[in-house]
Homo-oligomer: A and B are copies of this chain.
């Protein structure tokens, strides 16, 4: 389940709702491209901005459009009771697995974060991926906290933020973390510019934003790393540097939103306010990058 390329599509939105038709198209493209799994309603899928009803509807659409490709559904919310309800909805929709980030408003103690995973994981009948994303949750997982959570029932994977750039340090970091986890729990990388480093360092999965719109490109990089060709994976990632630069400045969500518009796959705007689209100069820079990378169709 949590191995290889997990591609995370946008959930395009209208002013107050989700754009069902565009979302269905985005998911179906990923299934057709042969990704290993699809991650609906991740950070890129704007889960945090949608209502329970919208998320249940998006999960049902994604299961249909995924056409048999394993589907992971994000179930994060601020209140545990809401997370449990979302987990139920995702499972009813037919999700193969769920992804849970510890969203915060009040800062949480480690015991509170653990308690969230304990309360939610015990009710699941599908595997769960722990989503460690300090940039959005402001939770900083210690190794001890990762280990406690990873030993809970149904916990099957951890999605980690970018590793150190230096290959040896990245590998050491993955090995340190792996030593604390049960053998059944995989480690996956996120932060697309760190994907080649992560896969080369031994991560079993790439939770990919760029793969949500350009699955063939992300699959080529993933397969190179899986085949042990670290140099090729690194070169493929370096080629994408114009995209990574935009990701780091504007956030990958805004960049992928603009790219989806440029490809004619969504309307404009397609992000939930207060999020706004890329400023015009960045839009132009993105158009130039996509053309030079041959990513215009």
Indicate whether A235 reaches chain B with its CB closer than 8 angstroms.
no
Once the chains are docked, how many angstroms separate the CA of A82 from the CA of B53? Answer: 13
How many copies of this chain sit in the oligomeric assembly? 2
B16 touches A274 (CB 8 A): no
Smallest Cβ-Cβ distance to A85: which chain B residue:
B16
Residues of chain B with a CB closer than 8 A to A105's CB: 43, 48-49, 103, 136
Q: How far is the CB of A116 from chain B (nearest CB, A)?
A: 4
In A126-145, the 8 Å CB interface with B consists of 135-136, 138
Residues of chain B with a CB closer than 8 A to A15's CB: 81
Once the chains are docked, how many angstroms separate the CA of A135 from the CA of B80? Answer: 21
B16 touches A106 (CB 8 A): no
A253 touches B106 (CB 8 A): yes
Once the chains are docked, how many angstroms separate the CA of A103 from the CA of B81? Answer: 20
Say yes or no: A79-B273 contact (C-beta < 8 A), given A105-B136, A106-B43, A251-B107.
yes
Residues of chain B with a CB closer than 8 A to A112's CB: 274-276
A274 touches B136 (CB 8 A): no
Smallest Cβ-Cβ distance to A272: which chain B residue:
B79
Indicate whether A108 reaches chain B with its CB closer than 8 angstroms.
yes
Q: How far is the CB of A129 from chain B (nearest CB, A)?
A: 18
B80 touches A272 (CB 8 A): yes
Indicate whether A113 reaches chain B with its CB closer than 8 angstroms.
yes
Indicate whether A33 reaches chain B with its CB closer than 8 angstroms.
no
A115 touches B48 (CB 8 A): no
Smallest Cβ-Cβ distance to A79: which chain B residue:
B49
Indicate whether A78 reaches chain B with its CB closer than 8 angstroms.
yes
Mask, A114-127, CB within 8 Å of B = 1, is: 01100100000000
Pull 12 A–B residue pairs with CB atoms less than 8 Å apart, ordered by A: A48-B78, A48-B106, A49-B78, A49-B79, A79-B273, A79-B274, A81-B272, A103-B105, A107-B136, A108-B274, A116-B273, A138-B138
Which positions in A face B, CB cutoff 8 Å? 15-16, 43, 48-51, 78-82, 102-103, 105-109, 111-113, 115-116, 119, 135-136, 138, 251, 253, 272-276
